[in-house]
A and B are shown apart, each in its own frame.
Chain A
């Protein structure tokens, strides 16, 4: 039950993109096509889950016992940066087409605040290891849902007549605002 609550809260109520504003860069950047969004979601899920586990271990077995909490930002970001490098190398070998499609955005997962944000939130909420893993997976599902719905919306923008000044990014933000409004409907259920 406890885990279901964490999942519902992270996916719908406090959606990481639409209500916490983490991971906006890939949300606007790679959401032009549904296909690339799915690939990006896969990469983020993988990195976010492993990153949260590793940062949990660092926090509880290194930072806390030695009382060096101020090293949190530096140590967490280093772990995430090396993880992303690992995923990049793996993807290049295992699935070259996906690697081609994600292109520049793969190294950018390092600067995807959603990954670092989820890791820090899990520490802040004082979750244990299992809860942290559930929280990370739920957050990446939330990220994926927002990204894929948004990509679906954006694919239709090509067919619309948009005023010249609204073309591209501005209309995407307005659409994201409407999507965020829709997600506000989930407030209060968990």
Chain B
């Protein structure tokens, strides 16, 4: 496969959130603001790349029957690294992402790429795939967070330019579902 093609697929053509519908729990749960979404996106990108590297290196040593538990252990190790690093260096982001940091381990996107891609491809291809999917995920979360922040609070990335309260419903839980629903609709429209 063409590597450039491999790199660009995650952004639009196979965007994990809008097209593949993977990793929806953090996509809905943490995107109350754009910066939370982007932070979560980068944490997931790191885990994706590292687990893709390790899994593509050890794929020939893992018996087929126990491959899923082995993948999960690899992913969980990197999630723990992210968790401890973030708690030490970015405590405020860590607090606002809360439970969703350890829950990266059960993000279907990470396990899905490990199973469907990294366990079948060589190192370089797997790294590029992880980077592509991770950045696509970050883009989707940033976009969703941006939309929710804009409508809910009248600001983007904490910079407030519409005075007043905004539609609080977009910050609350129903707004996450509504915003994601309409964004997927837009991406369907653009795809045609």
Contacts and interface: CB of A to CB of B under 8 A. Distances in A.
Interface stretch (B8-16, B37-45, B78-86, B133-141): B78-86
Given A70-B84, A74-B73, A174 B181 contact: yes
A21 B76 contact: no
Interface of A: 18-25, 28, 70-74, 77-78, 81-82, 107-108, 110-113, 116-117, 120-121, 124, 164-166, 169-174, 176-178, 180-181, 184
B25 interface: yes
Contact of A111 (B21, B80, B111, B180): B111
Interface string B93-135: 0000001001101111001000000000000000000000000
Which of B21, B80, B172, B181 has most chain A Cβ within 10 Å? B181
A129 B177 CA distance: 34
Contacts of B107: 111, 113
Which of B79, B108, B174 has most chain A Cβ within 10 Å? B174
A28 B175 CA distance: 17
Given A25-B24, A165-B185, A117 B177 contact: no
Contacts of B92: none
Given A117-B99, A166-B185, A21 B173 contact: yes
Contacts of A21: 25-26, 28-29, 173, 176
6 contacts: A24-B28, A73-B80, A74-B80, A120-B102, A165-B192, A169-B184
A73 B28 CA distance: 21
Q: Is the interface of B mostly helix, strand, loop or mixed?
A: helix
A77 B72 contact: yes
Nearest to A73: B102
Given A25-B22, A73-B102, 16 more contacts: A19-B173, A24-B25, A73-B105, A81-B72, A110-B106, A113-B103, A113-B107, A117-B103, A120-B99, A165-B188, A170-B182, A170-B185, A173-B178, A176-B177, A177-B177, A177-B178
Interface of B: 21-22, 24-26, 28-29, 68-69, 72-73, 76-77, 79-80, 83-84, 99, 102-103, 105-108, 111, 169, 172-178, 180-182, 184-186, 188-189, 192
A109 B141 CA distance: 24
B29 A20 contact: yes
B176 to A, nearest CB: 7
Given A21-B173, A180-B173, A73 B178 contact: no
Contact of A82 (B69, B108, B178): B69
A108 B111 CA distance: 10
B91 to A, nearest CB: 16
A24 B173 CA distance: 13
Contacts of A178: 174
A24 B28 CA distance: 9
